Amino acid sequence: MSASARTGARAWWVWGAALVAYLISVTQRTSFGVAGLAATERYHASASILATFSVLQLLVYAGMQVPVGAMVDRFGSRRMIASGAAFMAVGQAVLAFSANTPTGIVGRVLVGAGDAMTFVSVMRLLPSWFPPRLNPLLSQLTGNVGQLGQIVSLVPFAALLGLGGWTGAFLALGGLSAFGAALTVLAVRDRPLGAPVPDAAGLGLARSIRVAWASPGTRLGFWTHWISASASNAFLLSWGFPFLVSAQGLAPGTASLIMSLFVVVAVALGPFVGVAVARYPTRRSNVVLGVVMLAAAAWAVVLLWPGRAPLWLLVVLALCVAAGGPASAVAFDFARTENPPHLVGAATGLANVGAFSGGLLSIWVIGLVLDLVRRGAGGGAQLYSLTGFRVAFLVFFLVYAVGLAGFLVERRRTRALHAPIRPLHRALWHRTVWHRAVPRGRDRPGR
């Protein structure tokens, strides 16, 4: 069946249903960040204990990405997405009735396991149902429209948590995941009727993972994801709300609105990034580098600002860090174009580990630093103080430095596999002065 024939109404229905399941998955993932202050009271937890919830969730998520990526190549997206939704429904139910830290952690681990099965499985559907020319744009739309789940956790869930209490709010989330599982079973199919099953080339799970990781493009995808979205994951999943409310003195409603900007930026910027990647594939890495430098500069200004930052600056910070969401989706384009079709799932899973391993490291170390700063200031000091966050958020710069080193090394190795690519500054000068002399077909998939 041709690519054009596959792009019919059924393809859009399949993708739409899978996208709803992913949106629900993001809601489950980000819900605990909104409930952070309530969790502190419910479990009588310190900052480092509270960070353990998000750290373990991300650890499970990141640890499962690699086997899940290989498994979806074999068992199909429909089974994996439905199973993930079921895990998340059970996990939120456990969390709803938890009365102590260990039980709550079990609930979050189950949520992390279910979440891990979703995104890679949704992305695996794209090359099966749509032609290659649409994949960069649909990859962006999948990642960014799915982030609307943050709005569900930031607004309706936050309101439900305040009105109905802990148990009712988390039971409602569990019911939402149960709906996602049912929708997936009814509407999602792994490939069009009559389409051939992808050849796994006789590779086992371990072998698939090793072969996919051997590609420098896969490793470039990993570091792209690391530098683009680690800080935003740490901000959204754990420390953003306490930072804005307790350290910066914003009202909870205002803090929620600022955090919702992450979704606005993702939805607004994502299509432009997708079109740019499809049109200029050799410049994908430059887009990523520009976004990362912008975010690092915004963090530096906020952390160096004397006293509490003004509202406008916090909005600018949110906009700059949020741009990492669309930029991080470029990682999956690297994984897709630098690997054969039967390894796309494994390569996507490996790339997807990047931001969550970086985010996990950030969340955990930030929690430790906050506790250390509080103990150093005396037992009566505020847990989420402005001084504590200023010191703790320096972790982001360490994460950026490590990620950029890996990114630049793997970009060089990936480019070495393709025709020479003119440096960006020379290409811009050439196009500006002698643009008529440059063949339009020169930019071909590279880095």
Residues 6+ positions from 313 with CB-CB distance below 8 Å: 301, 302, 305
Q: 135 with 126: CB under 8 angstroms?
A: yes
Report pLDDT digits (tens) over 73-92. 778 889 999 999 999 999 98
* pLDDT above 50 (res 445): no
Give me the residue spans of the domains in the chain.
3-190+204-442
Q: Which of 1-15, 106-120, 409-423 has the lowest mean pLDDT?
A: 1-15
Contact criterion met (CB below 8 Å) for 332 and 226: no
| Spatial CA neighbour of 402 closest among 446, 363, 355 | 355
366-371 average pLDDT score: 86
Q: Poorest-confidence range of 52-56, 167-171, 248-252, 311-315?
A: 52-56
Tell me what pLDDT residue 74 has.
78
**Domain spanning 3-190+204-442, CATH architecture:** Up-down Bundle (1.20)
What's residue 421's pLDDT? Answer: 64
Average pLDDT on 314-322 reads 93
Query: Most confidently modeled of 223-227, 323-327, 420-424?
Result: 223-227
Question: At residue 340, what are phi and psi to the nearest 5 degrees?
Answer: -70, 160
SS3 content of the chain, % helix, strand, coil (to 5): 85, 0, 15
Which whole-number Å values give the CA distances from 362 to 31, 228, 232, 339, 393, in the listed order?
Answer: 18, 13, 10, 30, 8
d(CA 103, CA 47): 18
Confidence label for 179 from pLDDT (cuts 50, 70 and 90): very high
C-alpha torsion 370→374→376→379, nearest 10: -160
Q: Quick one: residue 422, left, alpha or beta (phi over 0 = left, psi -120 to 50 = alpha)?
A: beta
Q: Is the pLDDT score of 102 beyond 90?
A: no
Contact criterion met (CB below 8 Å) for 325 and 271: no
Task: Among 145-149, 192-196, 394-398, name the one with the lowest average pLDDT.
Answer: 192-196
Instruction: Give the rounded percent of residues in the chain with a pLDDT score beyond 70.
Output: 87
Q: pTM to 2 decimals?
A: 0.72
Q: Torsions phi, psi of 375, nearest 5?
A: -65, -35
180 band by pLDDT with thresholds 50, 70 and 90: very high
- Sequence-distant (6+) residues with CB within 8 A of 328 are 143, 224, 225, 228, 229, 354, 355
The whole-chain average pLDDT of the chain stands at: 82
Model confidence at 405: pLDDT above 90: yes
The yes-or-no verdict on residue 259 having pLDDT over 90 is: no
